[in-house]
Structures are given as structure tokens and as C-alpha cells.
Chains A and B, each alone.
Chain A
Amino acid sequence: MQHTALADQTLELHDPHSFVTKYIWSQDHKVIAIQYGLTAVFVGLVALVLSALMRLQLGFPDTFDFITPGAYLQFVTMHGMIMVIYLLTALLLGGFGNYLIPLMVGARDMVFPYMNMLSYWMYLLSVIILLASFFVPGGPTGAGWTLYPPQAILQGTPGYDWGIILMLVSLAVFIIAFTMGGLNYVTTVLQARTRGMTLMRMPLTIWGIFTATVLGLLAFPALLVSAIMMLLDKTIGTSFFMPALVSLGENLDYTGGSPVLFQHLFWFFGHPEVYIVALPAFGMVSDVLACHARKNIFGYRMMVWAIVAIGGLSFVVWAHHMYVSGMHPAFGFFFATTTLIIAVPTAIKVYNWVLTLWQGNIHLRVPMLFAIGFIFTFIHGGLTGLFLGNVTIDLPLSDTYFVVAHFHMVMGVSPIMVLFAAIYHWYPLITGRMLNDALGKAHFWLTFLGTYAIYLPMHYLGFLGVPRRYFAMGSTDFIPESALSLNASITVSALIVGASQLIFLFNVFWSLRHGEKAPHNPWGATSLEWQTPDVPPKHGNWGPELPTVYRWAYDFSVPGAERDFIAQNEPPDAAHPTSGELGGAS
């Protein structure tokens, strides 16, 4: 199906006429994507600094006076929430989703550009509200990123007064922003594809972003519901989640609410959130791998099915985050089983990525290095997930550094590796310049090896029983001195990895002006975003006429073809005896 209003009527495009309408109140999906991207990276850097402060405390306790136990908990909370929601979700969907969807499906823009613009400004508002909590009395909330009641809103937890209110309001605003953006993404994919772009000809990037957006649209309401109800518990004194409590010898006004109810709601959002982050990364890494291995993606259909299956299954595994909260044994069995079942489509994807590399013509350029790095980190994080998915193994490991190591490998490092792969891959399209290769390789090796130096030892600490979220370990029988030395080594690694991101930032800003001018389609990619008449694409993307698609996005190294790739919009003729050769333009 095609969307004629945007396809053929360029009057609908709201051409910008001034600096303000072009770069600030812009309705162009590419500008909005960059706005999303820059804001997300900025707030992500704040979270990176917070993690460095946490690590300084853990590695060198009693050294930094300004890191109090309360401040430490605030760093933990804000680091987690910012990284998961305000960086990863925003950058993958608001940033790359916005930039790539219209270009990859052959549309001129999102179908609701005004709403798209509003989405960004609401997102910015949510970030401002969140960061404002650093400047209110009591500072930001220190309740942990899961914000479990009753402690989140009770005296004793840092930021129990203003910090938690600002956090909950910020989340609600973020969800409104995401919903406005998400409606655009799914509707654009379903209704604004150009002629010939069938669903099964879409690149996997679009499948990943589309499915993740559907997950987000259906899962974020759970967070919204829990945020609204907890806000009422905090401000008006309702008892949705708050049980009857005695605090400092006094009975509080709360009556018999259920904290576990909050946990169910939170994780009904929280687990799909893992895949809201992972699925776009799965899609993008598939395209980067195929392009730089000059080989069609192995098992395209299976990859699509796996994305859809993972999306569906992600709604029935949430309680594996709550084994220690207590539940009926049958539920534990059910959620452990579904958790292990979701490993099947995920494993299929991993096999297919590896088989795509098999006998490919691999070009170890920087995007490819990050993509291959992702396969390592994701397998690593995925395998430890199999441990934690089992109730009996999870119970002793719960709330230890093993869990920290697991989720950082699987949904911290892995999506970040893909984000770097994506930035190195699509930077030439976005800016018209190439990133510096040597700096990129230095950035990759420091990041890749550095993250292993951080997270591999954490698994060992977890096996020892070192608990997470603790400000200081103190002296215990089960944590030997060597574990503390290991913590110091992890901190040094973390600081090196953090500092190495400066190489990346320098590269991005330096290359904007001084980078080599990007040739048209520098990687020899087949997908539509590289086939625009201008690089970077101009407003409206496609000039006077929309492209017509004749084939899927993975015709690399086709026998008999002139070049080692055939673009999706290249008309079939005798020189290209390949799929779609019988397709007609009309």
C-alpha cells in the first residue's frame, strides 16, 4: 500500500523557509532524528559520568568525600533510568527510527510530521524535568531504576520528596512523547511505503524498529499506569501500592496496598523494554553485517519471524524479574519456561548472523568491527540470561554482580555496540563526510576489550555473592580482599572505556568539517536510504519522483551482476539476472 498524500503531493511537505523552521521547530524527520540523537547522547553522557562516580566509590572506597551513601544510590538510579529510557530507547527509535524509516521505505517524511515534531519537544521536556531533579531539595530519587514502592516514596530513600515526583512526571511526559513518535513510525511503515516495497522486501532494520515500536506502544502504558498510581500514592495519599506502615513509631495513613502489584506492572513494561532496545539493534546489525560481508543475510524470513516471535513472547516472561518477590511455584515454572523458549528465536538470529559471515567477503571496516563485537557481547550476555531464567539458579544469584554483568552485556554493551556500528555506517549519509578510520578502530578496540575488562570479572564477583547496589562492602567472611582489588581494576577499566568515548566524540565533531567527503553510497549498500539523489538527503528525500522498488535489500555478490550489489530500486534488465528480474515498473 502506498500513501499518496506524501508520495505525490509535495505541497504536503511544509518546506522550511527560515533557520527556525529548518533546524529548531522542524517537521523534517531527518532534523528531528538528529535533535533526538544529540539530546539522547547528551543525557547519556550525564549517565556515563554518573557511572564513573559510582565506580570510583566502589573501586576506591573512603576516598571521595562527596560521594555519600545517599548520593551513590542517586547515581545508581539516574544512571540506570537515563541509559535505558532516555538514551537507548530515545536514540534507537527517536533517533535512528526517525532517520531511517522514511528513507528505507521510500517515503518523503513521516506521515504525521507535526506530531513527530511535538514528539521531540515533549521528549526534550521530559529530559529537562528529569535533569531538574538534580537541583531540587533532596536531589534526584535514589530508589533504584525500578522505583519499587514503598521505599521509593518514603523518608529514608534519597529524593523521596521532590526527586521521585519529578522522575514520575518525567516518565509520564516521555511516554506521551514516545507514543506520538511511535504512532508515526508504525503508521509510516504500514501506509507510506513506496511502490514495490512490500513488507517482506523491507530491510531488517525496519522490521526491528517496527516491531519494537509496537512493543513500546503496548508496553509503555504499563509504566504510565504505575507512574500515575504511584504519583497519587505520593501526593494525595492513596494506597494503590502502599501497604499499611509504621514509620518512626507512627502509623502512616496508607492502608493495605500491594507493592508486588507495582512490580508486576513495572516488569510488564520492563521486560518488553529489553526488546524495545534489542530489536532495533538486531535489525540494524543484520543490515550492517550483510553489507560489510557483501553477502545476503542468511535466513531473511526466519529473521523476520524471529523478530515477531521475540516481540510476542516478550509479553509473557516479565515475572522472571520477580522470582525473589515470591510467587506460586506454578508461575515460577511458567515464567522460567517462557523465558527459555524466547531463547530459541534469539539463538536463531545469532546463528543466522554467524552464517551470514560464513564465506562472506568480509570487510573489517569500523562498522563491521562493532557489528562483530556485538555478536560476541550478545552471545555472552544471552548465555548468562539462561542461568538467570531458571528459578533455582536465579535465587542465589539475584541482586549480585552477576545480574549486573548479565544485563549490562545483553542490553547495555550490545545495543551500544550496534549504535556505534550504526553511527559509523550511516554517518556518511547523515553528514556527507566519512569518519576517521584510525580513530574509529582505536575507539572500537578500547571499547570492546574495555567492556570485557569491566564485565567479565563482575560475573566472578557475583558468584562470590557480592551484592549490587551497596555503597561499600565492609568486612564480610565471603568477600575476600582479592575481590576488592578486582573492583579497583574494574573501576580503572571503566574509566578508560569512559575516556575512550572522547575519541568517538572528537571523531564525530572533527569529521563534520574535516572528514573526507563521502562518495555516493560509500559502502555499496543496496537499501533505499543510500539511493537518494542528494547526500545528505534534502527535504522531501527523493527529488521529484519517488523510487520504485524491484527487489529485497540483500542482493549482494549476485553471480553475473556488474557490481557486487544491486540496489533495491535498480530496474531489472539483462545485465542483472536476479530476483525481481521479471518485475515490472507499472
Chain B
Amino acid sequence: MSLFSTLREKPWEPQPALAGHPTPADPLATPRTALRFIMAIVGVLFFLFIITFLSRSQYPDFQALAGQPWQPFSDTSRLWFNTALLAASSLAMHIAVLVAQREHLNRAVLGISLAVFFAIGFLLAQLDLWQRLMAAGYYINSNPANSYFYLLTAVHGLHLLGGMVVLANLLFRVWYDDSLATLSGPLSLCAQYWHFLLAVWLLLFALLASSPDTINTLAALCGF
């Protein structure tokens, strides 16, 4: 039923057979709804960060991290390496869901372990990138573009850490309740969150490694 037809209902009129909506019980409906809201909230959070980035980029002291040969992200190989780690994590999670659906539980646990391994690898690689930038004199407060890089990667990393806490909680409960057969449903929701964070990272990557011309064009499109 669409939202509009729901809102057109007239609850004061006799409504035959409207005493209930007997739908098949779906234990995932509740966490799925919550996950959608979480993704919407996190999406708004990053959207706002990005909008402020574009607005702030139009002030004269803003020096993008790419575009010139001496800028750190003129060579994006390190960023691509980190992206590959996160993509591998997402892929491992996806495979874990597929094998869990076929009830190959050992393989599912292996897939989850790989996903966590790559996710931790991504976070460590991001930290390493921070260190390299600082070693090259790109501190958080030396330029707003730097500030945004540290801030956005930190917020993204915290969301990934949060995802891992939820995943650990899920595994613990499944293990504790000895209900491995029910793993695939909740795991698929975790995987959705993983893919979502990968998409957010790709967006951040594209933005942070953009040349000043690209950033200026995007800012102009947004009216800044």
C-alpha cells in the first residue's frame, strides 16, 4: 500500500475486514526498518559535511589536496589501496551472506572473519595515511581542506567501528543462543550497512581527491 493511499483512508467510515493486517511474520522487518533510518541519518550527516565542504572551499584560504603535482593526492595510489581493502571487506561480507543463506555456516564464519580483517586493515591503512600526511606537514589545522580530510575520514571510520561492534554483538548472540541457522537474515542487514559505508567512502574519496576545478564546479552547482 502506498503512502498516499494510506493517507487517503477514511478511518471514520465502516471498513469491512479492516480489523487487522495479517501479514506473514517477518522477524527482519523491525531491524530492517531501523537500518533504513540509520542509513538515512548517516546519509544526512555526511551530506551536511559535504555541503559545508563545498561552501568552505570557496574561501580563498582553501587549498585542495589534489590538482597540483606537489599535492599529496595528486598520486591517489594510497587511496586506491585503502579503497580496495574496504571493497574487499564488503565483498567478503556479501559472500558470507550468500553462503549463510545456504547454511554453509563454517564458510559464512570465514567470510565474516575476512570482512572484519579487511575492515580493520582499512582503518589501519587510513591511520597510516594520516601519519604520512602529518609527516609531510599536512596537519589538521594548517588548511581547511586538511581539516575536512581528517574529520571526514575519522567520522567514516567511527561508523565502520560501530558496524563492527554491532556485528560482534550479532555473532555473540547467535553463538550464545546456538541459533546459527538464523544468521543469514541479520547478517544480510550488516552487509547492507557495509555496502552503504563503502558507497559513502567512494563519495568522500572522489570529493577529497578532486582538483580545485572540480570542487569549484560542484560548489557552483550547489549555488556557492
Contacts and interface: CB of A to CB of B under 8 A. Distances in A.
A473 interface: no
A4 B27 contact: yes
Interface string B52-76: 1001100111100000000000000
Interface of A is mostly: loop
B14 A229 contact: no
Contacts of A217: 37, 40-41
Interface residues of A, number: 64
A234 to B, nearest CB: 11
Contacts of A1: 21, 23, 29
B41 A221 contact: yes
Interface string B115-156: 000000000000000000000000011011001000100010
Interface string A507-534: 0000000000000000000000000000
A190 B23 CA distance: 14
A392 interface: no
Given A261-B52, A552-B12, A583-B19, A232 B147 contact: yes
A211 interface: no
Nearest to B42: A221
A138 B40 CA distance: 39
Interface in A517-564: 548-552, 554
B30 A225 contact: no
A238 B19 contact: no
A238 B147 contact: yes
A2 B144 contact: no
Contacts of B9: 198-200, 301
B14 A582 contact: yes
Contact of A228 (B6, B11, B151): B151
B222 interface: no
A253 B141 contact: yes
A261 B56 contact: yes
Interface stretch (A32-40, A179-187, A353-361): A179-187
Contact of A583 (B16, B29, B55): B16
Contacts, number: 159
Contacts of A308: 7
A345 B141 CA distance: 46
Contacts of B15: 579-580, 582-583
Contacts of B16: 582-584
Interface string B21-42: 1110101011001100110110
Interface stretch (B43-51, B103-111, B186-194, B196-204): B43-51
Contacts of A549: 19
Contact of A236 (B8, B22, B62, B141): B141
Interface string A86-108: 00000000000000000000000
B11 A551 contact: yes
A195 B30 contact: no
Contact of A224 (B30, B34, B45): B45
Contact of B34 (A187, A196, A296, A550): A187
Interface string A168-204: 0000000000010001001100111001101111000
Given A239-B147, A256-B61, A550-B19, A199 B29 contact: no
B80 to A, nearest CB: 27
A130 interface: no
B60 A256 contact: yes
A195 B56 contact: no
Interface string A195-237: 1101111000000000000000110011011001100100011
B33 A187 contact: yes
B72 to A, nearest CB: 18
B7 A304 contact: yes
A413 B16 CA distance: 43
Category for how many chain B residues contact A: 35 or more
A112 interface: yes
B17 A232 contact: no
A196 B20 contact: yes
A246 interface: no
B51 to A, nearest CB: 9
A198 B13 contact: no
A484 to B, nearest CB: 44
B19 A586 contact: yes
Contacts of A4: 25, 27
A352 interface: no
Given A5-B27, A257-B59, A196 B37 contact: no
Contacts of B45: 221, 224-225
A296 B12 CA distance: 9
A438 interface: no
A3 B151 contact: no
A579 B61 contact: no
Contacts of B25: 4
Given A196-B20, A238-B141, A581 B14 contact: yes
Contact of B33 (A190, A218, A304, A580): A190
A304 B12 CA distance: 14
Contacts of B62: 256
A111 interface: yes
A134 interface: no
A403 interface: no
A309 B35 CA distance: 25
A179 B40 CA distance: 12
A244 B62 CA distance: 13
B151 A229 contact: yes
B26 to A, nearest CB: 8
A191 B56 CA distance: 41
Contacts of A187: 30, 33-34, 37
Interface in B85-101: none
Given A5-B27, A198-B21, A221-B41, 11 more contacts: A2-B20, A111-B30, A187-B34, A199-B9, A232-B140, A238-B140, A238-B144, A238-B147, A308-B7, A579-B15, A580-B15
12 contacts: A4-B25, A179-B41, A183-B38, A196-B20, A200-B11, A224-B45, A240-B147, A300-B12, A301-B7, A549-B19, A580-B18, A585-B20
Top 10 A-B pairs ranked by shortest CB distance?
A: A552-B11, A195-B20, A583-B19, A256-B61, A200-B9, A4-B25, A582-B16, A237-B141, A238-B147, A221-B45
Interface of B: 6-23, 25, 27, 29-30, 33-34, 37-38, 40-41, 44-45, 48-49, 52, 55-56, 59-62, 140-141, 143-144, 147, 151, 155
